[in-house]
Structure 1
Amino acid sequence: MNLKKFTLALFTLTLILMLSTVGLAAEVDLRIYHLNDVHARIEADDYAGSIGYAKVATLLKQARREKENVMFLDAGDTFHGQTIANINQGAAVVYLLNLMQLDAMAIGNHDFNYGQQRLSELAEIANFPLLSANLNRIDGSMIDFKKDFIIKQYGDLKVGVFGLSTPETAYKTHPKNVEGLIFRDPVTTARKMVAQLSDKVDVIIAVTHLGISEGSKYTSKKVAAEVPGIDLIVDGHSHNLLPHGMMVNDTLIVQTGEYSKNLGYVDLTINNGQVTNKTANLIPEEETKSVKADYLISTVIERINRANELITSQVVGSTAVELDGAREHVRTGETNLGNLITDAMKAKLDTDVAITNGGGIRASIDQGQITQGEVISVLPFGNTAMAIQISGADLKAALEHGVSEYPAHEGLFPQISGIKFTFKGDAPVGERVQEVWVNGKLLDPAAQYTVATNDFMKAGGDGYTMFSQAPVVKEVGGLEEVLMDYIAEHSPIKPAVEDRIIVK
């Protein structure tokens, strides 16, 4: 009997230990690192507060040594925006992300800036997929540069990742770049993706370029609110900083701000196929001061810069003041850099007025010498400058449209020359602009005015549809060339804010 009792006790203990072991094996941890809206700011930059890819690579390598399951995602607007990438049309960024073992990237609106053909070429050399489930061709044919989703496996854990791109891409890149494409409703698409993935994976992640801006119709918040079953949304587009994420129903939404100023990470705990815990954190640039830059990434960046230096280091002039191109300033009010750019456009094209979208201004310039590289960083989109002719009524309509999303930081906000206007920021949309003067005289709705603008806006970009049918009366070279010539002729420059735009 004693032997039987001992045997039974031993069997019971063994069973308990086996069950305990099964329980431990069923619990899995997954860490997801993420970036968004880097806009090719891949170098460490104390002025901009950018961590840079070399230090991000070090942090990723450390995590992969210490943790069993690590994923790295990018939420888009990555390939374009700085000279280091623009000169080689995004190839530098792709090569670096290949070395950093990026798992997947959402396609952002500015990732189309080199055109569809170039995006296809970048997808060819990328070791990671470009994701956008709601992107289709109007004619139904296949798109070779994107996938709808991927499934990653970590041991027995299966993770589904699908992508969504903002429908605003139709007018937040040059319309020529997205000819023949359609961006379908992200909410409807997300429902289909969840239905398709839910019985195949344990975790569903959406990597999205939608944003949470109040000025956007489709946001990641809307997707999370209306589509159950998404465990995590790694988001971009609106450049928001979400230090510990945002919970909407049972979905965690994360963003890192912009320009690699922060590296985000999310820790998920999965137990028996269910996500039981999720936490979000950021590693800000100031916490990476002691992080050693990865040697390989640093070397590659150095070689790219050396190749570009012959072009970018040429000095075009100087400025006696800092030129303010900060995103939050050029998208909500007049800045001295906005005035400088539009003054240059107006002078070059000899027009009554000039107007450019604040979203087209992508950087500031320090006081002192100005190089070609700095100008290209300010105006990285390769737009051309042109003059159109429109009525005073359409000109006022353009200004109304430009302030329609204020105070949201939207790229359609106008920077102007030859015009002064007042508007009420809290008035109903369409009734905000109060008074408009053109070269000191009240605007005449029936008069015809010549307007210097860029080809993006002329094509209806940023929603400026009132420009799309206007006749072109003159066209010159690239917008960055126009600015360089103006700086060279007027150096040292000292543009100021002149109350061209007054908020009441």
Structure 2
Amino acid sequence: MRITSHTFPRASVRRCIGAGAAFATAGALLFVPQAALAADGDTDLNAIVASTTDIQIVGINDFHGRIEADAYGGLPGASGLVGAVRALEAENPNTLFVSSGDNIGASTFTSFIQQDTPTMESLGLGGLDVSVVGNHEFDQGFADLTDRVQPFYQQFGGDNAEYGADLTLGANVYKKGTTEPALKEYAIREVDGIKIGFIGTITADTQTLVSPAGIADIEFGDQLEAVNRVAAEIDDQVDVTILLTHSGAEVSGSDDTTCTDIENEDTDFGALVRGASPAVDAILSGHTHQNYPCTIEGRPVLQTGSYGANLSKLDIQVSTDNAGVTSLVSIDSSLLPLTDEEGNPAYAPAEDVQAVVDDAVAYAEIQGNEPVGTISADILRGGEVPGDDRGVESTMGNLVADMYLWATTDYAKYGGEAADIAFMNPGGLRDDLIFASSNVGEGDGVVTYAEAAAVQPFANTLTTSELTGADIKEILEEQWQPGNDRPKLHLGVSDGFSYEYIEDAAAGEHVVSMTLDGAEIDPAATYTVTTNSFIAAGGDGFTSFSNAPYRDTGLIDLEASVDYLSEHDVVDPAPLGRAVEYVEEEPTPEPTVEPTAEPTAEPTVEPTAEPTAEPTAEPTAEPTAEPTTEPTTEPTAEPTATAEPTATAEPTPSETPGNELSPTGGEMSWGLGLGAAFMIAAGLVIATRMRRKA
């Protein structure tokens, strides 16, 4: 039987039956007399007992070309990362190094300026075994991936003719309009006789995360369908199956609550975690830049964060009997930090990789250290840790929108119609502008070409479109994307434009109002809107930009941003508050104040004063005289009844005023009637008994 340290049988029936038979055989042989075994000199009892193999899989996700070590950010750099992998391989030669995608793209200037070749070279030298493709591997289009990226990797593949393809797996990437895979679906690696299968899938959101023009010939299908299809296909070829998915949860944490949230989240990734075939033994995820070492339904589910700060680690033990039948004994998981408390690499850097990094730094310094402008303070992306939250307004997002608007109004290189509004997508912002001088010594507040390039590393062009006010509202509504890995993408908006919104509203009902320079946006009027070519083509899910054709201005976003910085003496962080959360309680202060003041004042003063004075003075004098005469004269006919009622009647009027004497008299009459009925009944009983005696 195949078991793991997390759960009971998850393997295929084939493997379970094989393992069970092996253990049954070994158990039966234990009952064979030792003399008989000894008589056969070729029989070794130890040979029938299963041997075990320990395998280690270490992984990264969302490296994004962070090849330089960064103690402040707690990043080991490429040499620190590869150094860690090699140290772990020295401890256990049965080690595989894998990635869950986005190895390149959205990189720092050092790698970006050379189209990420320093990053690919570092990973190739580091022995990266298998990787799934990430959405940023498509930044320059599918043709760039197949014609440049894969061949570059291939030079490090040795005898493996498919090495380049093994580093760009994509089981749910299909040729347009077909179910024919456009990329390799899986890779198998053999370690000490044990075969490990790796399936690669990518978030279907990729369709909206890269320029549509670059992926016109492919499409992205359902991950869960692809995983289960391929897992069934390779089940009889492998001993262990690992899913590498460029998709992930939106939360971080190692506690049970976080893992429960991940398991239950209503997203494609949640469905993948819950529905992946039992043949999948572990899931290494990416894309959302979160940290979670979870075990969900007995299966490890991990993500390392991003930029090589951590390694995911799977410790796998597989047993093999003398018949060659294998079974998964256990699989444990953890996250391994790659920097120490001071942020320095925790393992000795790999010297050959460091040489690659040093060359890239030298080249980038020449290209990128030129100052291009000055800022007055930090200009940051959204989130408590800048860049962590794309669902909130940020000074960086608004500033880049301001740059776009300037580039299509006052920029000398622009010859088109002046724009009214500009938008910037948060996913296109990949770094912050920090006031403090960097380690190249440019000085406080100085922005270099490299720093400006790191903010927008995708080399998009600027576009303009003629959109109606209704189109603009649709675009703003598309910021809310429930069910996606990132449920909200907050657009940066340019100066002069503002809107109010309700966060928790039904789809299409978030935006309450929009204004431009203080005037209401007319749903039927047309406005010239600037953005970048990525979202102009419907990227990041902002498909309403396609409601009207867009014009390519020929301006590069980076070039326009650099020129904006150069033409302004000092650039301030763009103010927040262009997007204002609508508060429904605002119209209610007046009705709340008046009713509270008037009703509270009158009932509290008047009723308390008058009833207290009158009942105490008047009722005590008048009622005392009347009840004493009336009740005393009438009940006199009844023997002994008048004495006690007359005495008890006096205090009653002093407790309640005026007409409350009436209920008191009624109660006394009711009592007399009840007494009379009792006497009649008693008389009847006595009469009956006397008759019986007679």
For 1:382 and 1:479, how far apart are their aligned partners in 2? 6
Q: Please name the residue that 1:251 is paired with.
A: 299
Is the contact made by 1:148 and 1:163 (CA closer than 8 Å) also made in structure 2? yes
- Residue by residue over 1:245-289, the C-alpha shift from the partner in whole angstroms, topping out at 9 and shown as x without a partner, is 223323321110112222221211223433232222222244354
Is the contact made by 1:460 and 1:466 (CA closer than 8 Å) also made in structure 2? yes
Listed as ranges, the gaps of 5+ residues in structure 2 are 1-32, 158-162, 251-261, 321-325, 410-418, 436-444, 583-694
TM-score normalised over the length of structure 1: 0.91
For 2:41 and 2:134, how far apart are their aligned partners in 1? 54
Report the RMSD for the aligned CA atoms in angstroms: 2.6
Match of 1:433 among 511, 519, 525: 511
1:347-366 matched pairs, under 5 angstroms = 347-350=406-409, 351-366=419-434
C-alpha displacement of 1:49: 2.6
Q: Please name the residue that 2:318 is paired with.
A: 270
Match status 1:222 vs 2:297:
no
Q: Please name the residue that 2:65 is paired with.
A: 40
Match of 1:134 among 159, 172, 193: 172
Match of 1:8 among 28, 31, 35: 35
Q: Percent of aligned pairs with the same residue? A: 28
C-alpha displacement of 1:169: 1.2
How many residues matched? 494
C-alpha displacement of 1:152: 0.8
- Residue by residue over 1:216-258, the C-alpha shift from the partner in whole angstroms, topping out at 9 and shown as x without a partner, is 852265254342210011111121211xx22332332111011
- Residue by residue over 1:187-243, the C-alpha shift from the partner in whole angstroms, topping out at 9 and shown as x without a partner, is 11111111111111110011111222489852265254342210011111121211x
- Residues 15 and 116 from structure 1, CA distance in 2 versus in 1: closer, same or farther, beyond 3 angstroms? same
Letter in 1 for 2:239: D
Q: Please name the residue that 1:3 is paired with.
A: none
Match status 1:303 vs 2:353:
no
Letter in 2 for 1:125: F
C-alpha displacement of 1:174: 0.7
Match status 1:333 vs 2:392:
yes
Give the secondary structure class of the aligned counterpart of 1:246: strand
Q: Please name the residue that 1:30 is paired with.
A: 55
Pick the structure with greater CA Rg.
Answer: 2
For 1:7 and 1:354, how far apart are their aligned partners in 2? 86
Q: Please name the residue that 2:100 is paired with.
A: 75
Match status 1:382 vs 2:451:
no
Higher normalized strand content (fraction of residues): 1
Match status 1:424 vs 2:474:
no
For 2:82 and 2:137, how far apart are their aligned partners in 1? 22
1:15-414 matched pairs, under 5 angstroms = 18-20=44-46, 22-23=48-49, 25=51, 27-82=52-107, 83-120=109-146, 121-126=148-153, 127=157, 128=163, 129=166, 130-138=168-176, 146-213=183-250, 217-219=267-269, 221-242=271-292, 245-272=293-320, 273-287=326-340, 289-326=345-382, 328=387, 331-350=390-409, 351-367=419-435, 368-405=445-482, 409=486, 412-414=489-491
C-alpha displacement of 1:451: 0.9
For 2:72 and 2:506, how far apart are their aligned partners in 1? 38
Listed as ranges, the gaps of 5+ residues in structure 1 are 1-5
Is the contact made by 1:212 and 1:221 (CA closer than 8 Å) also made in structure 2? no
For 1:405 and 1:220, how far apart are their aligned partners in 2? 13
For 1:480 and 1:193, how far apart are their aligned partners in 2? 42
Match status 1:490 vs 2:583:
no
- Residues 328 and 378 from structure 1, CA distance in 2 versus in 1: closer, same or farther, beyond 3 angstroms? closer
TM-score normalised over the length of structure 2: 0.67
- Residues 330 and 489 from structure 1, CA distance in 2 versus in 1: closer, same or farther, beyond 3 angstroms? farther
Is the contact made by 2:314 and 2:331 (CA closer than 8 Å) also made in structure 1? yes
Letter in 2 for 1:104: V
Is the contact made by 1:357 and 1:411 (CA closer than 8 Å) also made in structure 2? no
Q: Which moved more, 1:193-202 or 1:89-98?
A: 89-98
Letter in 2 for 1:282: L
C-alpha displacement of 1:59: 1.2
For 1:437 and 1:407, how far apart are their aligned partners in 2? 29
Letter in 2 for 1:252: P
C-alpha displacement of 1:119: 1.0
Letter in 2 for 1:265: K
- Residue by residue over 1:308-338, the C-alpha shift from the partner in whole angstroms, topping out at 9 and shown as x without a partner, is 3222111101212111025646612221111
Give the secondary structure class of the aligned counterpart of 1:34: strand
Is the contact made by 1:352 and 1:439 (CA closer than 8 Å) also made in structure 2? no
Q: Please name the residue that 2:626 is paired with.
A: none
For 1:140 and 1:403, how far apart are their aligned partners in 2? 30
For 1:101 and 1:224, how far apart are their aligned partners in 2? 32
Q: Please name the residue that 1:450 is paired with.
A: 528
Q: Please name the residue that 1:502 is paired with.
A: 580
Is the contact made by 1:42 and 1:260 (CA closer than 8 Å) also made in structure 2? no
Q: Which moved more, 1:80-89 or 1:37-46?
A: 80-89
- Residues 14 and 210 from structure 1, CA distance in 2 versus in 1: closer, same or farther, beyond 3 angstroms? farther
Give the secondary structure class of the aligned counterpart of 1:131: coil
Is the contact made by 1:349 and 1:474 (CA closer than 8 Å) also made in structure 2? no
- Residues 44 and 13 from structure 1, CA distance in 2 versus in 1: closer, same or farther, beyond 3 angstroms? farther
- Residue by residue over 1:62-120, the C-alpha shift from the partner in whole angstroms, topping out at 9 and shown as x without a partner, is 11111031011111111112223322223222111110000111001111112222211
Q: Which moved more, 1:347-356 or 1:323-332?
A: 323-332
